[in-house]
């Protein structure tokens, strides 16, 4: 049987996962990638410290959202060594002496939250209900069934859907918890990628969504030698399968009637299906669908996440902490607010660009300690500060005072800040310029009302979720599609299921 030709635009994790599955199911796949390297936002950067060339994660840093079956079926599990800390996560509220330990066991966590922040609600009920919603989400990932309210109600019942899928995050958190600090910890992921209001319809859904990865059973962890090994190895696996990857290759125009793509370097590619694994605005440049172009132009693309990578000449030592073993690689969270109202105000202020930095929270990834656990000994220890809320205004290099302010928030909790020899600061503006994200959102497009769950689609074709507009042979599966971004490839996989189900 003749193979069908699939042309994939973009070699980020979604384009690579999609290509892997299509190539294995009787498609001949070619990829066109604009950058000189594959990986998209899951890619390395380099810096020189004391004459040593050091690689580090330029964009994405930690693994967690990837479905376990994608990790296995693509062949990645054979190539990569990964690790998620067993020790509890640690939460610091500014101005308080003792930290809160986030135990995996809900009963232990209930006790800790009750003792430390006076929680009187039910962590156990919250976790039980959240797990039901996560099961529903994960089931959809496996089957490739696109999200719909009807199937959610069938699976979960109307009450859980009203609370967890169409409801607001504030209402959800108020329902289960009494302590503002518990609500902050449990609700922080609502704004992890986007400055989404906790009062907007459907914002509750982001909470289980962000816990729906299964490679570490809902937790997060590290990849030996750095997370970009995921896209690097996927590229190698795909090439071995026969996928042709063309880097430094930019589209000039598309003749969709004759199914041909022409690049600026004068090459042309035939296709039976064309899939954009880019941001969602990119394909609108090549097709005459004014309605869709207009719809896409008014969608929300803003991001407010910043990232500092800090290098230390000696191992980082945490105040009040055991300096050996698993605990050193635990994830840590530093809150600059102590209630939901302030959390919301700061996030919205950054969205409205009222100031460059509105301190909300910092997630600290102990990448160097994680690498040591994986047997990778690097010359410098490394911490990553994933920081909220940075407005979409300026590049990191233009805001040295904010770079320093972020570092000082973390350095309060370490004993040897003087060992920090270098740090690099990336803002939403940098993400726009480095990765072509429209307004620096790490998921390409905000997870907000009208752009989330069953609405996170660009298809105008009934029962075909991943088509692009009304074009039957053109698809979209970048981070702007359901479920969202992350080093997961779930949108790429679900798009593959959509393509093969209809053909
Ligand atoms: C600073 C930062 C930190 C993050 N942290 C994490 C994290 O710790 N963990 C996590 O899971 N996720 C994280 N993310 C999110 C995650 O990296 C992204 O959501 C994910 O990598 C997106 O994958 P993608 O394949 O959809 O798109 P991309 O990675 O954006 O890939 C799209 C590709 O398309 C190419 N392209 C664009 N336009 C064209 C064109 N016209 N022609 C050809 N090619 C084109 C681009 O060059 C790119 O290679 C982070 C992102 C950033 C920026």
- Ligand 1, atom nearest to 479 Cα: 26
Q: Is 54 in the pocket of ligand 1 (CB under 6 A)?
A: no
Per-residue exposure over 329-356, b if at least 16 CB sit within 10 Å of its own CB, e if not = bbbbbbbbbeebebbbebbbbbbeeeeb
Q: Is 307 in the pocket of ligand 1 (CB under 6 A)?
A: yes
Note the pLDDT of residue 321. 74
Q: Does 241 share its domain with 309?
A: no
Residue 98 maps to a domain = no
pLDDT level of residue 461 (50, 70, 90 thresholds): very high
Structural domain range at position 347: 305-390+393-426
Residue 481 maps to a domain = yes
Q: Does 367 share its domain with 326?
A: yes
- The answer to whether residue 1 scores a pLDDT higher than 80 is no
Residue 436 maps to a domain = no
Ligand 1 centroid to residue 435 C-alpha, Å: 7
Q: Does 254 share its domain with 185?
A: no
Q: Does 34 share its domain with 120?
A: no
Q: Is 448 in the pocket of ligand 1 (CB under 6 A)?
A: no
Tell the residue nearest (CA) to atom 39 of ligand 1: 34
SS3 28: strand
Q: Is 59 in the pocket of ligand 1 (CB under 6 A)?
A: yes
Q: Is 109 in the pocket of ligand 1 (CB under 6 A)?
A: no
Using CA atoms, how far apart are residues 427 and 402, in angstroms rounded to an integer?
A: 11
pLDDT in tens, 197-221: 999 999 999 999 999 999 999 999 9
Mean pLDDT of the chain: 96
Q: Does 71 share its domain with 51?
A: yes
Ligand 1 centroid to residue 64 C-alpha, Å: 15
Q: Is 283 in the pocket of ligand 1 (CB under 6 A)?
A: no
Out of 218, 253, 273, pick the residue that ends a domain. 218
Cα 188 to Cα 19, 70, 361: the distances in Å are: 33, 27, 8
Q: Does 17 share its domain with 120?
A: no
**What is the DSSP code string of 177-230?**
---HHHHHHHHGGGGTSS---TTSTTGGGHHHHTT--TTTTT--BEETT-TTHH
Number of domains comprising the chain: 3
Q: Is 208 in the pocket of ligand 1 (CB under 6 A)?
A: no
Residue 284 maps to a domain = yes
Residue 60, domain CATH: 3.50.50.60
Element (H, E) at 7: strand 4-9
Using CA atoms, how far apart are residues 389 and 357, in angstroms rounded to an integer?
A: 6
Q: In 383-473, which ranges are continuous DSSP H helix?
A: 400-411, 428-435
Length of the chain: 503
Using CA atoms, how far apart are residues 50 and 367, in angstroms rounded to an integer?
A: 20
Tell the residue nearest (CA) to atom 29 of ligand 1: 40
Note the pLDDT of residue 323. 63
**What is the DSSP code string of 287-320?**
S--HHHHHHHHTS--B--EEEEEEEESS---BTT
- The answer to whether residue 445 scores a pLDDT higher than 80 is yes
Out of 196, 218, 240, pick the residue that ends a domain. 218
In percent, the amount of the chain with pLDDT more than 90 equals 94
- Best substitution site from 13, 33, 41, 385 to test ligand 1's pocket, by max atoms within 8 Å of Cβ? 41
Q: Does 413 share its domain with 323?
A: yes
Q: Does 255 share its domain with 180?
A: no
pLDDT in tens, 83-134: 999 999 999 998 787 899 999 999 999 999 999 999 999 999 999 999 999 9
Q: Is 183 in the pocket of ligand 1 (CB under 6 A)?
A: no
Residue 191 maps to a domain = yes
Element (H, E) at 343: helix 340-351
- DSSP code, position 350: H
pLDDT level of residue 503 (50, 70, 90 thresholds): low
Ligand 1 centroid to residue 12 C-alpha, Å: 6
Residue 142 maps to a domain = yes
Q: Does 138 share its domain with 193?
A: yes
Residue 494 maps to a domain = yes
Out of 183, 218, 253, pick the residue that ends a domain. 218
Q: Does 276 share its domain with 336?
A: no
Q: Is 194 in the pocket of ligand 1 (CB under 6 A)?
A: no
pLDDT in tens, 18-76: 999 999 998 999 999 999 999 999 999 999 999 999 999 999 999 999 999 999 999 99
Q: Does 321 share its domain with 422?
A: yes
SS3 377: coil
Note the pLDDT of residue 324. 66
Element (H, E) at 112: helix 106-117
- The answer to whether residue 172 scores a pLDDT higher than 80 is yes
Note the pLDDT of residue 94. 86
- The answer to whether residue 502 scores a pLDDT higher than 90 is no
Q: Is 486 in the pocket of ligand 1 (CB under 6 A)?
A: yes
Using CA atoms, how far apart are residues 296 and 460, in angstroms rounded to an integer?
A: 13
Residue 88 maps to a domain = no
Token pair 């308080």 in the structure block, residue: 96
- Ligand 1, atom nearest to 58 Cα: 1
pLDDT in tens, 282-305: 999 999 888 888 889 999 999 999
Q: Does 145 share its domain with 178?
A: yes
Q: What is the pTM of this model?
A: 0.98
Q: Is 12 in the pocket of ligand 1 (CB under 6 A)?
A: yes
């Amino acid at each position: 049987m003749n193979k069908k030709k699939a042309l994939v635009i973009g070699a980020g994790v979604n384009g690579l996962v999609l290509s892997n599955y299509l190539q294995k199911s009787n498609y001949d796949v070619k990829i066109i990638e604009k950058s000189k390297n594959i990986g998209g936002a899951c890619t390395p950067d380099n810096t020189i410290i004391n004459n040593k060339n050091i690689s580090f994660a330029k964009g994405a840093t930690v693994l967690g959202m990837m479905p376990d079956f994608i990790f296995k079926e693509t062949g990645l599990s054979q190539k990569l060594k990964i690790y998620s800390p067993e020790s509890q996560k640690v939460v610091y509220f500014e101005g308080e002496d003792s930290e809160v330990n986030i135990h995996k066991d809900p009963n232990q966590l209930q006790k800790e939250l009750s003792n430390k922040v006076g929680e009187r609600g039910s962590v156990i009920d919250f976790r039980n209900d959240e797990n039901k919603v996560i099961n529903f989400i994960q089931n959809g990932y496996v089957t490739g069934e696109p999200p719909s309210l009807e199937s959610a109600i069938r699976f979960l019942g109307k009450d859980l859907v009203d609370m967890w899928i169409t409801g607001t995050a504030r209402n959800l958190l108020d329902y289960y918890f009494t302590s503002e600090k518990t609500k902050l910890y449990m609700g922080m992921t609502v704004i992890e990628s986007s400055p989404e209001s906790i009062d907007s319809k459907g914002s509750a859904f982001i909470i289980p969504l962000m816990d729906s990865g299964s490679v570490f059973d809902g937790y997060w962890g590290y990849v030996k030698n750095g997370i970009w090994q995921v896209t690097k190895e996927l590229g190698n696996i795909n090439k071995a399968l026969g996928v042709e990857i063309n880097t430094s290759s930019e589209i000039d125009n598309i003749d969709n009637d004759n199914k041909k793509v022409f690049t600026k370097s004068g090459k042309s590619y035939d296709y039976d299906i064309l899939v954009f694994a880019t941001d969602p605005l990119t394909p609108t440049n090549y097709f005459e669908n004014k309605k869709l172009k207009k719809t896409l132009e008014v969608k929300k693309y803003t991001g407010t996440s910043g990232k500092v990578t800090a290098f230390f000449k000696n191992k980082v030592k945490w105040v009040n902490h055991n300096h050996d073993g698993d605990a050193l690689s635990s994830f840590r969270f530093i809150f600059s607010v102590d209630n939901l109202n302030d959390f919301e105000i700061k996030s919205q202020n950054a969205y409205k660009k009222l100031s460059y930095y509105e301190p909300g929270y910092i997630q600290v990834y102990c990448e160097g300690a994680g690498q040591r656990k994986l047997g990778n000994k690097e010359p410098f220890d490394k911490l990553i500060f994933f920081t909220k809320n940075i407005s979409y205004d300026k590049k990191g290099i233009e805001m040295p005072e904010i770079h320093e302010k972020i570092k000082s928030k973390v350095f309060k909790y370490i004993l040897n800040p003087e060992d920090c020899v270098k740090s690099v600061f990336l803002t939403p503006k940098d993400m726009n310029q480095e990765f072509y994200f429209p307004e620096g959102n790490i998921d390409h497009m905000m997870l907000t009302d009208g752009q989330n769950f069953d609405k996170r689609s660009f298809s105008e074709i009934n029962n075909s979720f991943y088509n692009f507009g009304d074009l039957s042979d053109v698809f979209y599966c970048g981070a702007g599609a359901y479920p969202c971004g992350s080093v997961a490839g779930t949108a790429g996989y679900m798009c593959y299921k959509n393509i093969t189900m209809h053909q």
